[in-house]
Amino acid sequence: MASQGPAEASSLVPPLVRLARRGSLLIASDFDGTLAQVVRDPRRARALPQASRALAELARRTPVAVISGRDLANLAVQCRVPGAVLLGSYGLEPWLNASPADPLPMTPAPSQRLVQLAKHLEELTGWLPGVQVESKALGVSVHYRNSPEPRRVGPTVRRMVEQLAAGEHLQVVRGKLVIEVRPPHSGNKGMALAGLLDRLQPRGCVFAGDDLGDLPAIEELHRRAPEMELALAIGVLGPDSNPQLAEAADICLTGPAAWAQLLGEVAAGLRSPA
């Protein structure tokens, strides 16, 4: 699917506004690379201000959800959107972010198995400059974005991680310059989106994502499309995007700023008289 320019993306606004006015449009989005720019230190990522403002405004009229592979406690700090449902760990940790004053959720401590796995991965990758191991409540990620030569190092990192995961019977999730291992059958964004659709029963849904981990949500949305008036999968493309994302998406936008702009236009449309 070719990338859409501002004019083409703006043509999507009227049907989205119509459903949002009825409170029957589910707006679901990934976080990293979609609402926030991908940065060298993941702890410094924040949703673009325009995206945060638009989502908070939209959440007063229609359901809004952010589905991320991040721990929920981490996501809640970096994506404070009043009224939105935040789903961390690929949907295994849901939380209604009703107010900025709400206490932040606590992330459960990782299992001893994951602690040992993270330590093992640190030992395996310690000789590779710029490669970082991130422990999560329900998984372990190995980032090689900050390597001096990420594309050369990538195959080595992926091979080591996949071999270890196979021996431990763990699930592997590839992303943009990152690879994650998790316990088997630990869910995905498709299952998270399915749960939201089952609970909310919206007449329309738009989902935006930027990476391979978002493909299950796009596939689930396409599976549910006959049940809805509108089902729109948006690929938010960046320099390291996998071609599979563009092929799966209904439309593609260039970077988080374009997605934030579209959200802002929908919010503005809701402010206008019907």
Q: 120: pLDDT confidence band, cut at 50, 70 and 90?
A: very high
Asked if 176 and 89 sit in the same domain, the reply is: no
Least confident of 4-18, 75-89, 134-148, 239-253: 4-18
Q: What does pLDDT average to over the chain?
A: 90
Q: Which residue has the higher pLDDT, 123 or 273?
A: 123
Query: What is the rounded distance in angstroms from the CA atom of residue 124 to the CA atom of residue 140?
Result: 14
Neighbours of 11 (CB within 10 A): 10
Q: What average pLDDT does this structure show over 96-112?
A: 67
30 catalytic? Reply is yes
Asked if 120 and 100 sit in the same domain, the reply is: no
Q: What is the pLDDT of residue 257?
A: 96
Give the end of a domain, one of 131, 154, 182: 182
pLDDT in tens, 212-252: 999 999 999 999 999 999 999 999 998 888 899 999 999 99
The pair of structure tokens assigned to 64 is 């809004």
Asked if 28 and 160 sit in the same domain, the reply is: no
Q: What is the pLDDT of residue 11?
A: 87
How many domains, in total, are found in the chain? 2
Helices in the chain by DSSP H: which ranges? Answer: 6-10, 13-21, 49-59, 72-78, 112-125, 150-168, 189-200, 215-224, 243-248, 255-271
User: Is the confidence at residue 152, as pLDDT, over 70?
Assistant: yes
Give the end of a domain, one of 160, 182, 204: 182
Asked if 44 and 168 sit in the same domain, the reply is: no
Strand order in the sheet with 140-143: 132-135, 140-143, 178-182, 171-175
Q: 138: pLDDT confidence band, cut at 50, 70 and 90?
A: confident
Q: Are strands 25-29 and 64-67 parallel, antiparallel or unpaired?
A: parallel
Least confident of 72-81, 216-225, 261-270: 72-81
Query: What is the rounded distance in angstroms from the CA atom of residue 70 to the CA atom of residue 172?
Result: 15
Q: 1: pLDDT confidence band, cut at 50, 70 and 90?
A: low
Asked if 251 and 140 sit in the same domain, the reply is: no
Give the end of a domain, one of 154, 182, 210: 182
Q: Which residue has the higher pLDDT, 97 or 256?
A: 256
Asked if 98 and 198 sit in the same domain, the reply is: yes
In a domain, 15, yes or no: yes
CATH assignment of the domain containing 20:
3.40.50.1000
User: Is the confidence at residue 8, as pLDDT, over 90?
Assistant: no
Q: 260: pLDDT confidence band, cut at 50, 70 and 90?
A: very high
Q: 107: pLDDT confidence band, cut at 50, 70 and 90?
A: low
User: Is the confidence at residue 5, as pLDDT, over 60?
Assistant: no
Asked if 198 and 154 sit in the same domain, the reply is: no
Asked if 206 and 126 sit in the same domain, the reply is: no
Which of left, alpha, beta for 39 (phi over 0: left; psi -120 to 50: alpha)?
beta
Asked if 176 and 227 sit in the same domain, the reply is: no
Q: Are strands 84-88 and 93-97 parallel, antiparallel or unpaired?
A: antiparallel
pLDDT in tens, 9-64: 778 999 999 999 999 999 999 999 999 998 888 888 899 999 999 999 999 999 99
Asked if 10 and 121 sit in the same domain, the reply is: no
CATH assignment of the domain containing 154:
3.30.70.1020
Q: Are 93 and 85 within 8 A, CB to CB? A: no
> Domain span at residue 10?
6-106+187-271
Q: 7: pLDDT confidence band, cut at 50, 70 and 90?
A: low
pTM: 0.89
Residue 2 sits at the vertex; the CA angle it makes with 69 and 10, to the nearest 5 degrees, is 85
**Catalytic residue (choose from 30, 71, 211, 250):** 30
Asked if 27 and 51 sit in the same domain, the reply is: yes
Asked if 15 and 149 sit in the same domain, the reply is: no
